[in-house]
Amino acid sequence: MMFVSVGAQMPFDRLICAVDQWAGLRRRSDVFAQIGKSNYCARHIETTQFVDAIEFRRLVGDADIVVSHAGMGSIITALEFGKPMIVMPRRGDFYETRNDHQVATARHFSQNGRLTAAFTEEELIDKLDKATLVPPSERIDAQAPIHLIKTIRGFLQQRTEVRRPVAPATRANTR
Residue 141 falls inside a structural domain: no
Would you say 55 and 164 are in contact if contact means Cβ atoms under 8 Å apart? no
Residue 82 belongs to domain spanning: 2-133
Burial of 131 (0-12, 13-18, 19+ CB in 10 A): middle
Residue 138 falls inside a structural domain: no
Residue 166 is predicted with a pLDDT of: 61
Residue 29 falls inside a structural domain: yes
Q: How far is CA 170 from CA 163, 165, 167, 173, 174, in A?
A: 21, 15, 9, 5, 6
CATH of the domain at 75: 3.40.50.2000
Angle at 2 between CA 28 and CA 125, to 5 degrees: 65
Residue 28 falls inside a structural domain: yes
Residue 101 falls inside a structural domain: yes
Domains held by the chain: number: 1
- Over the chain (175 residues), the average pLDDT of each successive run of 10 is 93 96 96 95 96 96 97 94 96 90 94 94 96 76 76 83 63 55
Residue 31 falls inside a structural domain: yes
The identity of residue 144, as a single letter, is A
